[in-house]
Amino acid sequence: MEINLGDFFEFNPFAEKLNIGQTIMEIGEGKKIVLVFDLNGQFMISAGKDNYYPTDQGELKNWSFQTSLVVPKNSSGDWPKYAAEEMIDNIVKQMESYALQKQ
């Protein structure tokens, strides 16, 4: 059964792909990066305590979806783009699972 996430959520995490990829690039290689989304579409990227993006938002205390990865050292090419896509794909899978439970 195919899920239309628009029936359950008013946001599309792929809309933030450029912001997420840019932040991953700024954080750099060899660090653990955590991406979380809440049910309202607010997201946070963390690379450690007190290291959050968006910086003006601060830390999200509650979230529903989380994924993480470590970008390998000596990555080349479009690695921020691919890292962002992988993380968002993981978030979307969690959103689909959540939506299935709510049906």
- Phi and psi, residue 65, nearest 5°: -130, 135
Rounded distance, CA 58 to CA 50, Å?
8
User: What is the pLDDT, as a whole number, of residue 1?
Assistant: 61
- The low-confidence residues of the chain, meaning pLDDT below 70, are 1, 58
Rounded distance, CA 37 to CA 19, Å?
14
User: What is the pLDDT, as a whole number, of residue 16?
Assistant: 92
CB atoms within 10 A of CB 28: 13
Rounded distance, CA 25 to CA 5, Å?
28
Joined together, the tokens standing for residue 30 give: 């060899």
